[in-house]
Amino acid sequence: MIDENIDRIVELDIDDDIFENELDETGVEIVSIVDSPAIEQDFLYFNKEDEVELRKNPDCPDGFEHRMPDGSYMCGKNHGGSYQLESYSDYPKAARENACRAIIWSDEEGWGDCGEATGKKRASQLCMGQNISRDTIARMASFKRHQQHKDVPYTEGCGGLMWDAWGGSAGVNWAISKLKQIDENK
């Protein structure tokens, strides 16, 4: 008799040479095989059965904030059994274009020593027009501290490239304004 409470162990044999060559063509760097998807900060829906850490916040629509994987908290809204976190994609077209410009350049020339994974992810999110959270908007707004480097040409340093990756002046200024709007509406 098989005990259904015991996890199965499955051996997966992958030919490294074939696998690496196929990954090189796609740009994928890491593959993980899991039985359920990991929840990243930008994953916007939770099932009602999922355990989500909450804390009270009367400014949120349902009275609670939800803890994100990075330790920050976000308000959300219950939609018939799934939980949708507040997110926004109304940033200006120029912010998308700036982020896309940075990605196109980095695809051809590489990022070099420029930027952290967060900045590269931000460029991707903005370029693709994805929804971003209030916390992400706050990080964009705080990127204003790098404004003094925005005119550094891509070929001469990281300033201009990373400024554009975060949406450039259009993106940063939108984030500052949007953050104020979100916080005033609470």
* 134-143: pLDDT as tens digits: 889 999 999 9
Q: Which helix H or strand E contains 75, and what residues bound it?
A: strand 73-79
The beta strand positions in 9-58, using DSSP E, are: 45-47, 54-56
How many structural domains does the chain have?
A: 2
- Please check whether residues 100 and 153 belong to one and the same domain: yes
Q: What residue type is 30 in one-letter code?
A: I
Q: Is 137 among the domain residues? A: yes
Task: Express each pLDDT in 92-122 by its tens digit.
Answer: 999 999 999 999 999 999 999 999 988 999 9
- Please check whether residues 131 and 166 belong to one and the same domain: yes
- The per-residue pLDDT of the chain, averaged, comes to 75
- Please check whether residues 81 and 103 belong to one and the same domain: no
Give the C-alpha separation, 163 to 144, whole Å. 9
Q: Is 4 among the domain residues? A: no
Give the C-alpha separation, 11 to 91, whole Å. 46
- Please check whether residues 81 and 109 belong to one and the same domain: no
Give the C-alpha separation, 62 to 56, whole Å. 9
Q: Is 106 among the domain residues? A: yes
For residue 119, how many other CB atoms are within 10 A of its CB? 22
Judge whether 160 and 144 are in contact, CB under 8 Å: no
Q: Is 23 among the domain residues? A: no
- Please check whether residues 80 and 97 belong to one and the same domain: no
Give the C-alpha separation, 1 to 171, whole Å. 60
Output the CA–CA distances (angstroms, integers) from residue 139 to 46, 94, 99, 145, 178, in the order listed.
Answer: 23, 18, 15, 11, 12
N-terminal to C-terminal alpha carbon distance within the chain: 57
Q: What residue type is 121 in one-letter code?
A: K
Report which of residues 164 and 72 the model is more confident about: 164
Output the CA–CA distances (angstroms, integers) from residue 136 to 15, 97, 110, 171, in the order listed.
Answer: 39, 18, 24, 12
Q: 56, 85, 114 — which closes off a domain?
A: 85
Q: How many residues does the chain have?
A: 186
pLDDT band at 44 (very low <50, low <70, confident <90, very high): very low
Q: 27, 59, 85 — which closes off a domain?
A: 85
Judge whether 117 and 160 are in contact, CB under 8 Å: no
- Please check whether residues 71 and 115 belong to one and the same domain: no
Q: What is the pLDDT of residue 51?
A: 46
- Please check whether residues 123 and 145 belong to one and the same domain: yes
Q: Is 33 among the domain residues? A: no
Q: Is 116 among the domain residues? A: yes
Domain with 167, as residue range(s), is 93-185
- Please check whether residues 99 and 153 belong to one and the same domain: yes
- Please check whether residues 59 and 132 belong to one and the same domain: no
